[in-house]
């Protein structure tokens, strides 16, 4: 990604976190990846004043405590956080989840593949899009 700001990964599955880290390494994405295990932990991270605001949030939907839909609803209603782009990165391919995510303000929706080559293509697409996109300053 073009920005030097971190990328927030909201994901409860440790294997998926390791897969994203591996894809970032293989694609030479140099942004710091900040994994959080659910929506509550992600909100704690975002609301901490001492942390650098992420350039993008990669969000799983199916998580304990606070799922991705609840997190998206809260962040997009928060005046200080709503401009951070959120890309849903999940295994769910249901029309209901896709529609709801965009209604709540997701900037994109990508389905995780279990095939690593297909998964890396997904991460490459996300990286390319956010490298070329103009982003709001968000405290960089």
Residue 82 pLDDT grade (very low, low, confident, very high; cuts 50, 70, 90): very high
> Buried b vs exposed e over 120-130: b needs ≥16 C-beta within 10 Å?
bebbeebbeeb
Model pLDDT, residue 136: 66
**pLDDT tens-digit series, residues 90-135:** 999 999 999 999 999 999 999 999 899 999 999 999 888 877 777 6
Model pLDDT, residue 128: 85
7-132 CATH, one of 3.40.50.1360, 3.40.50.10300, 3.40.50.2300, 3.40.50.300: 3.40.50.2300
Q: For the whole prediction, is pTM greater than 0.85?
A: yes
SS3 7: strand
Which residue in 110, 123, 1, 5 sits closest to 55, CA to CA?
Answer: 5
Domain ranges of the chain: 7-132
**pLDDT tens-digit series, residues 15-43:** 999 999 999 999 999 889 999 999 999 99
């Amino acid at each position: 990604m073009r920005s030097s700001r971190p990328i927030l990964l909201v994901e409860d599955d440790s294997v998926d976190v390791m897969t994203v880290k591996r894809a970032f390494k293989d694609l030479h994405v140099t942004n710091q990846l900040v994994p959080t295990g659910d929506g509550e932990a992600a909100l704690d991270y975002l609301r901490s004043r001492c942390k650098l605001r992420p350039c993008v949030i990669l969000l799983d939907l199916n998580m304990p405590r606070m799922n991705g839909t609840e997190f998206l609803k809260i962040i997009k209603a928060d005046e200080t956080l709503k401009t951070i782009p959120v890309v849903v990165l999940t295994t769910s391919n249901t029309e209901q989840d896709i529609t709801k995510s965009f209604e709540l303000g997701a900037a994109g929706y990508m389905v995780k593949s279990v095939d690593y080559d297909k998964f890396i293509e997904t991460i490459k697409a996300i990286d390319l899009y956010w490298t070329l996109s103009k982003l709001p300053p968000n405290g960089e």
